[in-house]
Structure 1
Amino acid sequence: MTQKLTPSTIVLLTVPPLLWAGNAVVGRLVREAVPPMTLNLLRWAIALGVLLPLAWSTFRAPGALAGVRARWPRYLLLGLLGIGMYNSLQYLALRTSTPINVTLVASGVPVWMMLVGRIVYGVAVRPWQVAGAVLSIAGVLVVLCRGDAAGLLALRLVAGDLFMILATIAWSFYSWMLLQPKDEPALRANWAAFLAVQVAFGILWSGAFSGVEWTLCAHPIAWSGMLLAALCFVGLGPAVLAYAMWGAGIRRGGPGLGAFFMNLTPLFAALLSSAFLGEPPHAYHALAFGLIVAGIVVSSRR
Structure 2
Amino acid sequence: MKRGIGLLVLATILWGGNYICGRFLASALPATLLNTVRWAISTVILFGLLAIKKKRIPIFVMWKEFLILGFFGIFAFSTLNYMGLRLISASQAGMISAANPIAILLFSLLVLKEHISGKAWLGTLVSLAGVILLFQGKHVVSASSSVFGEIETLLASLAWGLYTVFGKKYGKDTDPLTMTAGASFYGTLLSALSCIGTVQPGMIHMTVSAWLAVLYVSTLASVCAFYAWNAGVKMLGASKAAPYINLLPVCTVIFGVLLLKEQISGTSLAGGLITILGAVLATL
- TM-score normalized with structure 1 length: 0.81
Of 268, 272, 278, the residue aligned with 2:261 is 278
**Distance in 2 of aligned mates of 1:117 and 1:76:** 19
The Cα shift of 1:201 comes to 0.6
* SS of the residue 1:213 aligns to: coil
Instruction: Provide closer, same or farther for how the CA distance between residues 52 and 37 of structure 1 changes in structure 2, counting only shifts above 3 A.
Output: same
The Cα shift of 1:71 comes to 2.7
Letter in 2 for 1:109: N
- Runs of 4+ displaced beyond 6 Å: 251-254
**Distance in 2 of aligned mates of 1:288 and 1:242:** 27
Match of residue 55 from structure 1:
50
Letter in 1 for 2:281: V
Instruction: Provide closer, same or farther for how the CA distance between residues 247 and 138 of structure 1 changes in structure 2, counting only shifts above 3 A.
Output: same
**Distance in 2 of aligned mates of 1:170 and 1:284:** 26
Letter in 1 for 2:95: L
Matched, 1:132 2:127: no
Match of residue 151 from structure 1:
none
Matching of residues 54-133 of structure 1 within 5 Å? 54-56=49-51, 60-61=55-56, 64-65=57-58, 68-119=59-110, 122-133=113-124
**Distance in 2 of aligned mates of 1:200 and 1:263:** 28
**Distance in 2 of aligned mates of 1:218 and 1:161:** 27
**Distance in 2 of aligned mates of 1:60 and 1:111:** 35
Match of residue 213 from structure 1:
198
Matched, 1:203 2:188: yes
Any idea what the Cα deviations from partners look like across 1:45-77, whole Å, max 9, x if unmatched? 11112111111256655xx53xx4233122212
Match of residue 19 from structure 1:
14
Match of residue 171 from structure 1:
160
* SS of the residue 1:170 aligns to: helix
Of 162, 172, 177, the residue aligned with 1:192 is 177
Q: Which 5+ residue runs of structure 1 have no aligned equivalent?
A: 149-155
Match of residue 299 from structure 1:
282
Letter in 2 for 1:22: G
**Distance in 1 of aligned mates of 2:234 and 2:165:** 18
Instruction: Provide closer, same or farther for how the CA distance between residues 284 and 59 of structure 1 changes in structure 2, counting only shifts above 3 A.
Output: farther
Any idea what the Cα deviations from partners look like across 1:128-174, whole Å, max 9, x if unmatched? 121010111122112111189xxxxxxx9621011112212222222
- Identity, % of aligned positions: 23
The Cα shift of 1:81 comes to 1.0
**Distance in 1 of aligned mates of 2:127 and 2:191:** 30
Aligned partners of 1:59 and 1:193 also within 8 Å: no
Match of residue 249 from structure 2:
266
Aligned partners of 1:104 and 1:289 also within 8 Å: yes
The Cα shift of 1:297 comes to 3.0
Match of residue 142 from structure 2:
none
Any idea what the Cα deviations from partners look like across 1:221-278, whole Å, max 9, x if unmatched? 1122111111101101110122233445556777666444322221222222122322
